[in-house]
Structure 1
Amino acid sequence: MDVLITGANRGIGKALFKAFASRPNHTVIAGVRDPGSESSKVLQSLTFGRGSRAILVKIDSASEADFPKAVETLRSQYSVEKLDLVIANAGISKYFGKASVTPVQEMMDHFTINAVGPLLLFQATSSLLSASPAPKFVTISSGAGSIGGMDKLPVENTAYGSSKTALNFITRRIHFENSHLIAFSINPGWLQTELRARECQRLRLRWKMA
């Protein structure tokens, strides 16, 4: 099985990478901003299942050019001919504020990484997904993106929440427009990750990293 995960060097992405890498006969591809960083290189030293291998490619979700370059690298340098599963995990949450005061740049930043990035990832990997007999494209969403559930999450997160709402829409469009694959979003819930720890600091909530 051939799997590509963005944001694979920390948090949810790293946990997913470890889970797939531990299985036999898997090619697990980590899309990371800096393949040379320590947090990225440590992925190569994890325990792998029999016949499994790891590949690190540069994918910065803020760089439109990185997506097609990464796919070309997979084809030319690693002979990757298909992708069975692509997980758009990379994301940001770095600002909290009411809609009335949310800076436009914060909206742009969150939409670029959280919504446009996964779309670019799908566009770049669609040909490799098409080569799989049962391809799946998965995006990591959030309860913050739920319009119907907004009253149950009293957090001033206009930039982050709306970017996840857009992600949900894009993911559904991908699913309905491509009969050969399954696309869906997952809400992993509130997990103990570095991203969530930083959010808690901004919201002045008590948080203890495991």
Structure 2
Amino acid sequence: MDVLITGANRGIGAGLVAGYRARGAAVIAAARSGGDVALDVTDAACVAAMARALAGRAIGLLVCNAGVYVDKGERLEDGFAPALWAETFAVNVTGVFLTVQALLPNLSLAEAPKIAIVSSQMGSNMRANGGSYAYRASKAAATNLGRNLAKDLAPRGIAVGIYHPGWVRTDMGGAGADIALEESVAGLMARFDALDMARTGEFLAWDGREFPF
């Protein structure tokens, strides 16, 4: 199975690339720099160029992992500038949509294709603990996007899952996070393996726990 992973040059994305390559999968690491293919998910022309370069190649699993968390530590009183919101949504929401849209022909060439969207429990309405407004709102939108894509792509036989990777010890998660990168990656890969049309639209944690929307 050919696997394409966005945001593949660091953190969870790089971990997933290593995990699938260890299995012997044909992996396409997509990133702004340092990947197999250049991909800036906020640049529609770049997304289109990537799709042209991959024309005719079947992709069995698309992992939309690219994401940013730029409002960490922002203050309600004087933070969260409009440019911060625009950047966050451009990567975490619009970038997911543009990538999926561009690679639909590749997914359609595969047998039992899947899309995995890396979201976050911070986007759940039931886990609204305040702060990080742009990141939380973008992940809520990404989860909603995944749910609606699951509905629209079901007739094409493309399964869509949305996943919380855990609070992971990466550059984004920080040294004080709950779990190691290897633990998150192993859990996510197990979730992706289990994704099929019977489970399309699910929102699960890396360890299989169901999350409220």
Instruction: Give the TM-score, by structure 1 length.
Output: 0.78
> Which aligned pairs between 1:1-210 and structure 2 lie closer than 5 A?
1-24=1-24, 26-35=25-34, 40=35, 56-75=36-55, 81-96=57-72, 97=74, 101=78, 102-150=80-128, 153-154=129-130, 156-179=131-154, 180-197=157-174
Residues 51, 102 of structure 2: 8 Å contact kept: yes
Which ranges in structure 1 are unaligned for 5 or more consecutive residues?
Answer: 41-55, 201-205
Supply the distance in 1 between the matched residues of 2:177 and 2:127 (Cα, whole angstroms): 24
Structure 1 pair 98–137 and aligned structure 2 pair: CA distance change class (3 A): same
Supply the distance in 1 between the matched residues of 2:87 and 2:108 (Cα, whole angstroms): 30
The AA in structure 2 aligned to 1:32 is A
Deviation at 1:74, TM superposition (A): 2.0
The AA in structure 1 aligned to 2:22 is S
Residues 193, 209 of structure 1: 8 Å contact kept: no
Which ranges in structure 2 are unaligned for 5 or more consecutive residues?
Answer: 181-213
Deviation at 1:99, TM superposition (A): 5.2
Residues 146, 165 of structure 1: 8 Å contact kept: yes
Deviations 1:91-145 (A, max 9, x none): 0001133556421111111000000001000000011101112010111111110
Residues 115, 163 of structure 1: 8 Å contact kept: yes
Residues 167, 177 of structure 2: 8 Å contact kept: no
Give aligned pairs, total: 176
Deviation at 1:208, TM superposition (A): 11
Instruction: Give the TM-score, by structure 2 length.
Output: 0.77
Task: Give the root-mean-square deviation of aligned CA atoms.
Answer: 2.1
Supply the distance in 2 between the matched residues of 1:209 and 1:178 (Cα, whole angstroms): 33
Deviation at 1:157, TM superposition (A): 0.5
